[in-house]
Amino acid sequence: MGNWTINIEGTGCHHNGRDDIDADLLAPKLVQQLKDQGQHIEHATFTSGGRIDVLKKMDPPEPIL
């Protein structure tokens, strides 16, 4: 018993209305299955669209204090 995290990053169909392949429709089903099995879910999110790696754009990277 303890903390756990599932982080999935992918590319593919995520919003065309097909229950069998859309990641945005499959994600809540997975979360519900986990809850049904007694898991406590702290938060669950789905993000789609582009991403900018902010750390790669920093020149030079800021020091960690």
Q: Per residue of the chain (65 residues), what is the pLDDT tens digit?
A: 789 999 888 887 767 777 777 888 889 999 999 999 999 999 998 888 877 777 776 666 566 67
Q: What is the pTM of this model?
A: 0.69
The CA–CA distances, whole Å, from 22 to 15, 19, 31, 52 equal 6, 6, 15, 23
Domain segments of the chain as ranges: 1-46
Q: Determine the distance from the C-alpha atom of residue 50 to the mean position of all C-alpha atoms in its chain, rounded to a whole number.
A: 14
How much is the CA Rg of the chain, to the nearest whole Å? 17
